Amino acid sequence: MNATLVLVFLVVCVGILLVVPVHGPGALAMCVVFSLPTIIVLARGKDRTFLVRVFMAALIIRLVVGTGIFVLHLQDFFGGDAITYDTFGLALTQAWHGDSSNLLAYEQFVSSGAGAWGMLYLVAVVYELVGHNMLAIQFINAAVGAATPAVIYQNAQLLFNNSRTSRLAAVLIAFYPSLVLWSSQGLKDGLIVTALALGMLATLRLMKRVKMYDILMLTSCLIVLLSLRFYIFYMMVVAIVGAFVVGLKATDTQALVQRFVAIVLIGLALTWVGVLRTAGAQFERFGNIEAVQTSRADLARSADSGFGKDVDVRTTEGALTIIPLGVIYLLFAPFPWQLASLRQSLTLPEMVVWWICFPLLILGLWYAIKHRLREVSPILLFTTMLTLAYSVFQGNVGTAYRQRSQLLVFYFIFAAVGAILVREKMEDRRRQAELEKQELAERRAARVFGQRQSIGISK
């Protein structure tokens, strides 16, 4: 299987070089650079054969999808933000070479709050290395997105220590269509999902034992989140602190001291690099109720995919009123009656899969809360806060569908738990039925043997 995947990967690479001869070499070089660390880590870990196979298969699919989007110029169709990042990332690169007009354009864009400066810097650095090459950004996202299933596998193992659950969660993350789509383009969504998964993994490890490696990884993930979507940074911080508090035992003084030191070190690191100052400025500007209402109203005005147009979330009543509807749209939209365009219709197959998975998610959540509440507390805190936040300020089906990926990456862990619980219950029933059948056969055989013995005695 490994040889087959390597052969398919090489064939795909050759095909990319033939189809996109100008941009292909630089894009594939970036893909290899960002893929090698994942392969090295996976090759040294547990269940490495399975995880390497999943990584390779996930990467191949993302490279094919990304190349198709690039060649057919579908960036605007699937995610117009990719064009924005390309434009202003290129402007930043040119500004580094003394172009004052592009520097002004970049500064005005960033100061408007419309963009993620971390994504722009990534684009600019890559363009500085390989030239203007949007395909390279897509392939970097593909490599990062293909690594996410392995990170989720490790999260699931820490939480439930069940390889079947961990494998299923990894497969769902690797091949679920929307997660493939968002990590095949020049968008920030794939990077956000991976940063969330890595940050949560570091948090779960720190809850068990404080190590400097995990502190550094968590700090790096927080910086990445702030540079890409600042409000997720705040929610992640709250989830981390809350998890540390919930995870403490009343008499565990050593753990209390270790986690306090970890929080202090993370806070000092964030302060040293200026993260807290930047976060405070962003929160002061965009974290108020007026900004939330403005953002929601703009999204809801879309004629074909907006909802809750008349809701005013500046009032407590309005915010509480929209939460149930917002949660429904965030988790389940688009619905069949909303498929008014080709782009919306393409989502139907995966939505059917998600609707089927949702009861399994509820079952998995029930089991986790009942048996693993302390361990799953950081994920529960984060996903609950993000779900409620999106339900309030998201007023557009398309945007809700796209940002659902930040929740699915954790929801699929619990859906995998539910699926394995159902499967194990079915296996138990099957074994019980086979055991009863075997016992019945033994009783019949004993009865027949007894009858034969009685006949022999009578003779």
The maximal CA–CA distance of the chain, rounded, in angstroms, is 115
| CA distance linking residue 415 with residue 360, whole number of Å | 5
DSSP 37-56: HHHHHHHHSTTHHHHHHHHH
The pTM assigned to this predicted structure is 0.89
The encoded tokens of residue 253 equal: 């003084």
Angle at the Cα of 257 from the Cα atoms of 251 and 261, rounded to 5 degrees = 155
| CA distance linking residue 428 with residue 430, whole number of Å | 5
Do the Cβ atoms of 163 and 49 come closer than 8 Å?
Answer: no
Q: What is the 3-state secondary structure (H, E, C) of 159-194?
A: HHCCHHHHHHHHHHHHHCHHHHHHCCCCCCHHHHHH
DSSP-derived 3-state class of residue 436: helix
24 found inside a domain: yes
Q: What is the pLDDT of residue 121?
A: 94
Q: Could you list the residue range(s) of the whole structural domain that residue 106 is in?
A: 1-187
Question: pLDDT-derived band of residue 250, with 50, 70 and 90 as boundaries?
Answer: very low
Q: In angstroms, what CA-CA distances link 100 with 114, 117, 122, 149, 163?
A: 21, 18, 20, 42, 55
311 found inside a domain: no
Report the percent of the chain where pLDDT is more than 90.
46
The encoded tokens of residue 47 equal: 């269940």
Q: What is the pLDDT of residues 212-246, one digit of tens each?
A: 899 999 999 998 998 888 888 888 888 888 887 77
Q: What is the pLDDT of residue 251?
A: 46
Do the Cβ atoms of 20 and 67 come closer than 8 Å?
Answer: yes
| CA distance linking residue 200 with residue 155, whole number of Å | 7
270 found inside a domain: no
Do the Cβ atoms of 152 and 395 come closer than 8 Å?
Answer: no
Q: What is the pLDDT of residues 417-445, one digit of tens each?
A: 999 999 989 888 888 888 888 888 878 87
| CA distance linking residue 14 with residue 33, whole number of Å | 18
Q: What are the residues facing 32 on neighbouring strands?
A: none
120 found inside a domain: yes
Q: What are the residues facing 306 on neighbouring strands?
A: 396
Q: Does 56 have pLDDT greater than 70? A: yes
Total of domains in the chain: 1
18 found inside a domain: yes
Determine the average pLDDT of the residues in 116-138.
94
Range with lowest mean pLDDT among 153-157, 165-169, 306-310: 306-310
89 found inside a domain: yes
Q: What is the pLDDT of residues 254-284, one digit of tens each?
A: 666 776 677 777 776 666 656 666 656 565 5
353 found inside a domain: no
| CA distance linking residue 220 with residue 224, whole number of Å | 6
Residue type, 268: L
DSSP-derived 3-state class of residue 310: coil
364 found inside a domain: no
Q: In angstroms, what CA-CA distances link 410 with 136, 149, 162, 275?
A: 28, 11, 16, 26
Question: pLDDT-derived band of residue 416, with 50, 70 and 90 as boundaries?
Answer: very high
Tell me which residue of 189, 123, 201 sits closest to 159, measured CA to CA. Answer: 201
